[in-house]
């Protein structure tokens, strides 16, 4: 994690460890809903865009972090 990285990967991993079923994943997605995301690399940064949890994870996590999330979900039997 760099000093410009404000994503708390450990919190993400902790939440993912609590998911035990595919329904848990769907409920988490539903609870997250759509949230405003401001991408500083985008020309539309000022306006932001509404994204869901899956898109947020894709944008915020690097490949190693995504692989860790996938491994956690797989070990819990979650197939999303």
What is the pLDDT, as a whole number, of residue 2? Answer: 45
Decide: 38 and 45 in contact? Cβ < 8 Å.
yes
Model pLDDT for residues 9-62, shown as the tens digit of each residue: 999 999 999 999 999 999 999 999 999 888 777 776 678 889 999 999 998 999
What is the pLDDT, as a whole number, of residue 44? Answer: 66
In angstroms, rounded to a whole number, what is the distance separating the alpha carbons of residues 57 and 26? Answer: 15
Structure tokens that stand for 48 in this block: 């932001």
The end-to-end CA distance of the chain, in Å, is 25
Nearest C-alpha neighbor of 24 from the set 67, 80, 65, 74: 80
């Amino acid at each position: 994690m760099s000093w410009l990285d404000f994503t708390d990967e450990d919190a993400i991993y902790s939440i993912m460890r609590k998911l035990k079923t595919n329904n848990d994943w769907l409920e988490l997605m539903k609870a997250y809903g759509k949230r405003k995301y401001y991408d500083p690399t985008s020309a539309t940064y000022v306006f932001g865009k509404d994204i869901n949890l899956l898109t947020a994870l894709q944008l915020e996590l690097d490949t190693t972090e995504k692989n860790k999330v996938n491994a956690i979900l797989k070990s819990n039997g979650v197939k999303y």
